[in-house]
Amino acid sequence: MKTVSIFILLIYWSIMIFAPVMSKDVKFGRAKINQTKIVEAKPRS
């Protein structure tokens, strides 16, 4: 029972630590896509 609770806590803390990091990566990915769209639109205008 003790090992199971430790394992669950490990998973919980890894999610708590990596969730903000993953959301930042998603935001940076979207920003890169938006920047490439802006760069492509400039030569046309």
Q: Which structural domain range is residue 31 located in?
A: 1-45
- What is the tally of helices (H) and strands (E) in the chain? 1, 0
At 45 the three-state DSSP class reads coil
Residue 44 backbone dihedrals phi, psi, to 5 degrees: -65, -40
Q: Which has more confidence, 8 or 36?
A: 8
Q: Give pLDDT, residue 34.
A: 66
Count the domains in the chain.
Answer: 1
Instruction: List pLDDT tens digits, range 8-23.
Output: 999 999 888 888 777 7
Confidence of residue 37 (pLDDT cuts 50, 70, 90): low
Please give the pLDDT value at position 9: 95
Please check the confidence at residue 45 and state whether its pLDDT lies above 80. Answer: no
